[in-house]
Structure 1
Amino acid sequence: MTVTASGPDASAPAQRKRGVALEDAIREAAFAELTEVGYTAFSVEGVAARARTGKASIYRRWPTKQELVTDVLCEMLPSPDQAGITVDLDDSVTTHQALLGVARAIAGVITSPSGAAMRAIKCEAMGDPELARLVDERFQAPRRAALLSLLRRGVQRGEVRPEAATQLVADVIPAVLSHRVILQREPLTQRDIIDIIEQIFIPLVEVR
Structure 2
Amino acid sequence: MSLKGTRRRGSELEDAILSAAWAVLIEQGYPNFTYEAVAARAETSRPVLYRRWPQREDMLLAVLRRHWWSQPIPVPDTGNLRDDVITFLRSASTARTRMVAMLSVQIMDYIRETGSSFAQLRDALRPAGLPNAFEQMIARAVERGELPDRPRPPRMVNMPFDLFRNELLMTMREIPDETIIEIVDVLWLPLLGYRGRAG
Please state which band the TM-score falls in when normalised by the shorter chain. Answer: 0.7 to 0.9
Distance of 2:58 and 2:107 partners within structure 1: 14
Choose which of 144, 168, 174 in structure 2 pairs with 1:157.
144
**Number of equivalenced pairs:** 191
Q: How many angstroms does 1:205 deviate by?
A: 1.7
Distance of 1:77 and 1:94 partners within structure 2: 27
Q: Answer yes or no: is the 8 Å Cα contact 1:110–1:178 preserved in 2.
A: no
Distance of 2:70 and 2:151 partners within structure 1: 25
Cα 1:173–1:207 change in 2 (3 A) is: closer
Matched, 1:178 2:168: no
Cα 1:153–1:97 change in 2 (3 A) is: same
Q: How many angstroms does 1:163 deviate by?
A: 4.6
Q: How many angstroms does 1:150 deviate by?
A: 1.7
Q: Answer yes or no: is the 8 Å Cα contact 1:77–1:109 preserved in 2.
A: no
- Greater gyration radius: 1
Where structure 1 has 5 or more consecutive residues not aligned to the other structure, the ranges are 1-8
Choose which of 67, 82, 87 in structure 2 pairs with 1:76.
67
What are the residue-to-residue correspondences of 1:1-208 with 2, within 5 Å? 14-78=5-69, 82-85=72-75, 89=77, 93-112=79-98, 114-120=99-105, 123=108, 124-125=110-111, 128=114, 133=120, 135-139=122-126, 145-163=132-150, 165-207=152-194
**Normalising by structure 1, what TM-score?**
0.75
2:29 partner amino acid: G
Percent sequence identity over aligned pairs: 26
After superposition, the CA RMSD in angstroms is 3.1
Q: Which has the higher contact order (CA 8 A, sep 6+)?
A: 2
Distance of 1:131 and 1:49 partners within structure 2: 30
Distance of 1:64 and 1:121 partners within structure 2: 18
